[in-house]
Structure 1
Amino acid sequence: MLVPIAVVHVGPIKNWFLCLLTIYFLDIQYGDAQNLAINPDFRWLHSLTYQGVIAAIALLTMTCFLVKAWGYHFNPNLKFIKSPSFQKKILLALLIMATVDLFYNEFINYDKAIWTVFFGVDIGSFKFSIPNLTAAIEPGILEETERYLLIVIFLAGFNRFPKYRIPVAIYGSAILFGLSHLSNFG
């Protein structure tokens, strides 16, 4: 319901720093996953709202309209083109590290020791549940939408500095994205 209001009031903003603040306020608005209280008897709806999937989809929808209002367009024709320095072993190392990270993040609640997390967890006791599914969907939508917005804003903000534009967008969005996860530390 807030899409028309946001597009009218936030769409005309062209200053990249103000757009960055807008993203912060949108994160406050949509980042709180438990605003919609639905009776737990309606398992799917309760799980979708309690885990924040509805809020994440709302932020994604808002993002599409805001990015369009800011004058940017999605390009679905992105193709993977190998650069001269592309190395398969680096890609393989990144995939292995991502897999280790995903596995560790999933099972860290059972034990903090990395050996126990990887080799001491009884996977046979796990079963599918709706809350587990929606808990996995929410960060995939919400956090990647936030990251996309940060990259777009940094690219726009440093448009006059083509040499530094891409590095600033990558490092700046990574730092802000990492800072938003600072509460996970320890």
Structure 2
Amino acid sequence: MNLRKWNIYFRWEIAIVILLWWRMAIFNIVKVHLATAGLCIVVSILPVLVLAFNWLKKKSAVTRWLAIIIMPAILSVTWYILFHNILCYVSFKLGIIVLFGLILLVMDLPVAVVAIGQVQNWFGRLIAACYFDMVLLSSTAIELKPQGINVLISSGLMAGVAAFLAAMLIAKCWGFSFNPDLKWQKSSNWSNVTFILLLLFCIVFAFWAEFCGKGNNLVEILFKPDFGPLKPTWASFCRALEAGVFEETNRYLTILALIVGFANSKYRVQITVIVSAVVFGLLHFTNLGGQDFAATLNQVIYAAALGLVLAILYLYTGKLWLPMLYHFGVDFLNYAVNGGIKAQVWSGTLSDWVSSLVSIVVPVAIAIWMMTGKRKLVIDENIERLLG
């Protein structure tokens, strides 16, 4: 489908959103909820501005960024309010959940193509992709009972799938393949031994991070695993799967933006891996509201270190599903060990410091090793193939 048709769908979607907000404003005026009605009118002005600028024959950067900033947020808020209110008044909740789940999958596709997909600057692409994903994920904080099909939405899994679909269209608009996985291509620099060692590290590190790192002395912390009873749940499975799909999709767009921005730099591999990992770590500051600063900072640093390996895993193999699968496994194991999704804690004990140090130093060392010798050459080859 060409850009012209996507633009038509985008305008129709904006018009529908405007009508819905005016309808909510009229409803609140009738109910004499004047403050709420006024808020609805103010909110409805924002998509009106986007629609008005979109009709201009010559699209400018201002027009594009107006759509990028306003529309994902407006769509998410509109989706949330309608979903929440309709659920309160109907008895056939399953049908409504399915319907709004399908709407969630496609509602951001027009803005992804018309606005984000047309950004040419690499830094703008980076900012737009991160902002878009964060807004999309926040829309699913809906109050549903954590059971059955409801969890697919409340866990953010459906938002993750929606982000993935949008990312494939965005990548296509940026000039990349619609498929994030590179076809297998034999390389003289490829090493099966290296690949096996990388996978072994990922597996061993995931188990060490969850079952070790506790104890009263250095030996216990490093070498004594604590295999407590695992408590996996359907909710934690969906939440872990959401993290694997959503966060690795965001990493994919981040990597695409960076390899374009630094395509001619001799340090493009290092810049791409490090910056994408830093962005991944910083996004975990969104957990600050549910846990204290020290625990969140520790989580941010750990996530950035692990992000180095996740970026390497994709760039070395060319298969996005591999870091997705590994990310899912790490999070699901964590949720199963903790008996669910729990806030991180930081007590400043010896085990906290040693565990954090190992969780940072070891992934960094593996990433440095992978960015040297023939291993780096394989990554360079895959970057060239991504660039086309």
- TM above 0.5, one fold? yes
Equivalent residues in 2 for 1:97-108, closer than 5 Å: 97-107=201-211
Equivalent residues in 2 for 1:19-58, closer than 5 Å: 19-32=125-138, 34-40=140-146, 43-58=147-162
> Partner residue of 1:139?
243
1:68 and 2:172 aligned: yes
> Partner residue of 2:289?
none
Amino acid at match of 1:70: W
Shift of 1:80: 5.1
Q: Is the 8 A contact 1:47 1:134 kept in 2?
A: yes
> Partner residue of 1:86?
191
What is the total number of aligned residue pairs between the two structures? Answer: 177
Q: Is the 8 A contact 2:255 2:272 kept in 1?
A: yes
- Indicate how the Cα distance of structure 1 residues 130 and 14 shifts in structure 2: closer, same or farther if over 3 A, else same: same
**TM-score with structure 2 length normalisation?**
0.40
Moved more, 74-83 or 94-103: 74-83
Q: Is the 8 A contact 2:130 2:250 kept in 1?
A: no
State the distance in 2 between where 1:9 and 1:85 align.
38
Shift of 1:51: 1.9
Q: Is the 8 A contact 1:17 1:157 kept in 2?
A: yes
- Indicate how the Cα distance of structure 1 residues 37 and 111 shifts in structure 2: closer, same or farther if over 3 A, else same: farther
Amino acid at match of 1:165: R
Runs of 4+ aligned structure 1 residues displaced above 6 Å come to none
Moved more, 173-182 or 21-30: 173-182
Q: CA RMSD in A?
A: 2.9
More helix by share: 2
> Partner residue of 2:252?
148
Shift of 1:2: 1.7
Aligned with 2:261 (options 138, 153, 157): 157
> Partner residue of 2:278?
175
State the distance in 2 between where 1:171 and 1:80 align.
25
Shift of 1:45: 2.2
Shift of 1:143: 1.3
Q: Is the 8 A contact 1:38 1:45 kept in 2?
A: no
Q: Is the 8 A contact 1:20 1:153 kept in 2?
A: yes
> Could you list the runs of 5+ residues in structure 2 that have no partner in the other structure?
1-106, 216-220, 286-295, 302-345, 347-388
**Once the two structures are aligned, what percentage of the paired residues are identical?**
28
> Partner residue of 1:6?
112
**TM-score with structure 1 length normalisation?**
0.77
How big is each residue's C-alpha offset from its partner over 1:36-75, in whole Å with a ceiling of 9 and x where there is no partner? 33234xx222221222111111111111111112222145
- Indicate how the Cα distance of structure 1 residues 39 and 174 shifts in structure 2: closer, same or farther if over 3 A, else same: closer
Q: If you compute each CA radius of gyration, which structure gives the higher value, 1 or 2? A: 2
State the distance in 2 between where 1:87 and 1:2 align.
40
Amino acid at match of 2:278: I
Shift of 1:170: 2.5
